Every structure is written in C-alpha cells, then in structure tokens.
Structure 1
C-alpha cells in the first residue's frame, strides 16, 4: 500500500497482479473503501487473468484524505485519479466501476478520454428514486447539520454508506482538514454537489448530460442490473448502453436478486452488497482480451430484460 499527494491531499492506493499486466482501475460505489467486502475479491479475480489492478481509496473514502471541491464529488474524484495516474507514470488504463463507481468511471472517461482504453460499468445509478436517495445519503443531512451545528457537527456525523465519523476514525488528520475547510465552504461545496442529484430529464445518470455519452468512443461493456433493483434500475443501464455507440449490454453473472440479497445479508451480518461482484471478474478479463464477454441482453415487449 502506498500514499501519493494529489491536490493537497493524500490518496492511499495499491496494486494487485503482475507488474507487466494491463492496468485496470477498479472503483466501488458509495463512500466505501478499497477494503470494503467484495472489492478486493473482485480485484483478485481480475488479477488472476493477468491484469494489474489499481485499488484506491478515493477522496472521502477509506484511509485517504477528505477533499471537497469541483463540480460534483464524481468530478473531483476523476480529477484526483487523473493526477494520481500522472504521478504514478501510468498513461493508459481500463476503467471499471460499479454503482457510484460506474458514475465515477463515466465522468473519468469524459474528463480524460486519452487515458482510457476500455470502460466497464455495472449497477448504474439513475432514475428519480435512486438519484434522490443519494441526495439524502450524501448531501441533505450534511447541509442541515452544518447549518445547525457548524463544522463540529459534521465531525460527529455518521452514515450508513460511510460517514464522516468513519473517515476521521480511519484517518485522524481528516478532523483537522474539515476544521480548516470551515462550515461556510463545506456548505458551499455540498450545495454545489447537490445539483448533480436533482433528477433532470436530460441526465440518465446524476451530473452527466445525455449528450456527453456521445463523446465516449472506447470499447464499453455494460452489465445489466437485476430486474427489481430499485437503486440501479435496468432502464438506466439500457439508456447508457443506447447512448454509447458500439457498447455491449450483457446479462448479469449474478442472481437477479443479488443486490437485494446482499443488502439483507449486510443487515443480518452474514455478507455484504458487493459480495457477488467477483462473479464478473472472468467476464471483465475476457472483455479486455477481446473475447466475447457474457450473454447479450434483449428487451421484451414489457420493457423488462427477456430472452
């Protein structure tokens, strides 16, 4: 594990796999770290196919420093990754991401098209429920808290998807970083980031205008989510697939209820939401190697995936 300073903050990262392997940047969702269950297992599966996987704690995740700037949190993370790759001397990567990591990957591909060779996406967030849900998870309580209790209130704010208290516990210097930022600037950034999570008819995913998908020209693989996944509705994956010319939409390698089952297992303390992701590792390796990856998705008359 290594640390690299990017834009005044430390980014924690590591590589898994052979040194001469094609570099893959793997990004999970939420504000979850590279150590969140299921992430490393997926990386190891990809590395077993001869690839070199870069795992990293994005700003506001895991052991990296808190950072708050940019158009949205995804745009900030994309800029962070771009600088990180430059400092590591890596010119080209395959960019893989699920859930919020899919959004981060899309934004990165748009901001740094010259650095991306392949794009793979799964569990893409979109639609009114999931987009507004994210506003509640990541933004609205922050704004209420900082207005009522100042920055010290933020230092005490937890969260199911990785709260500020968790980030401070993992990296104590984050408390001083938040205090140095101050309540006024924290609220200003949160208010700006909120705009991405206001559903808009011309945005299939939060913070990315539909026309921008036409700028993605690299080979792209989209894995359809479960038919009843309310957090990652299939219609969003269909829209993204339709807007990226030449992309391939495939059936998931995990059960239709994998996301719901993962959430239930997390509540019961018997598993977690990303546990099934490892099942996609061989498909992703085949995708990079130019082999047929997975089974193509078709859409039945009722709008649901069908044979």
Structure 2
C-alpha cells in the first residue's frame, strides 16, 4: 500500500502547470581578429551572425552591446585615481545583468575561386566565461563547414543549407552562404554548451491527452518547454537519474542517462509533447524504484 501510494504521488507531483524555462542572461565581448585582409564590415557581420545564432536558439537573453560598452567605460573610469577610495565601484565582468560572457575571436575568412565560381569559409573561436567565477566554461573552434545530426536533415533541406558549400557567382553570395552555415553550427554549439533542466508536467497515453495510470505506460510525456524555448519536432531530450556518491568524504552528484525522449509535437510557446524513443524499460524500472528522475535539454 505504501509503495502504491508513493508511485501515485510521484505521478501527481509532476502534473502541475509550469511556465516556460527561464532564459540565461549572456553578454558578448566585442569580436576580435588579427586577419590583415579582413574588412571591418565583414567582421561586424560575422559578429552579428554569432549573436543572432545564440538568440535564435531561444535559450538566452542577450544584454545590449551598447549597455556593455557603457558599463565598461564606467568601470575604467572608476579605476582612475579619483575613484580609488569609492565603495560604490561597478562589478567587474563588464555586465551586472549577465551570467556569462561570450568571447568571439575571428580566426580566418577565406574566399577562393575565380569568375563566377566562388567558395567562402569562416572559422571562429568561441569562449564562454562564467562571470561569477571567472572560469572558462567551454571553448571551441567553429567553422562554416556544415555540421549536423541526422534529425536535423529535414530542416536543412527546407532552409537549403545543404547547398551551402556549392560554388557561388560572387564572393558576396559565397560569404552569405558561409554565414548561414556558421549560424547553424553556432546555434548547435550554444544549445549543447548550456544543457538545461526541463520540467516534466505529466505522463499521457498514446492519444497525447489522457493521463496514464499509476503503472504507466511511461511512453509519452508533456514538458513545460515550447516554441518560446526553441523546441521543434524531432529535438532530443535526455532522461537522467541522479544519485549521491561519496568520494573521499565528499558527496558528489552522479548523473546517469537512462532514456531518450523525442519531441513529437510543440503545442504552444510553453508546452510540448515528447515520446520515449530509447530506454523505456530502464525508465520504468527507475520510476518503480523511486529514483530521482530529471529531463535535460541540449
């Protein structure tokens, strides 16, 4: 009876309504480059493309660059002798409103070809820094060479990105194509760099409406993340269990992936329906054993 009651509470505990996930506040350090033949206009376009790719992922709120520059000037002013004794100095890290800084270094831009057959390639280095700790969260070189997972193939065809490497009639056109591919790769990098907990709302039957009974089946689930969070059909969500492990007297959380859910339908800006596509047996076992289960979106 106790076991049955606990399982019912587990199911009901996730059946409340929740708002879409909170977005992460980020700020961009002005892009840098040491390429002698790179025009400032091209550098500006690349920088804007990177920022827009982060915004497009719908996981982030970007602190306005003009505000960042104003804060930076204020910070430099407060470091002058006139402000050395002031207790009201601005917080280092450039921006009070952001949790992370994104550093963008343009590594290379190449245009190759002649007459009406041109290809362009772009390579950048992105570095994500945690403002509160000063630590580098991750860093990666990203190119305009298209990189994708199989589930994104349909979207690539719709957006004609699969033809991004084809020769173009001018450097302007080839540069534009390279920017499209770069944007796609940066968006994937942004999502993967900030895996986020997603709230499970309820388990439902195959009709995607009826709530399941206490014994399942645990196949379809409603999550509190919709179009405002960037969810699209085919997106993958990791289902993980968490346990506390004692290592040298220190308690450490160990996360283990037990299943994968795939977005079946995006209902609105706040909610989507997903289907367990891998690990259904392991998931049911974890639920039966009252393990701590959470959802991670990348």
TM-score (norm 2): 0.23
* Greater Rg by CA: 2
TM-score (norm 1): 0.22
Relative to total residues, which structure has the larger strand share, 1 or 2? 2
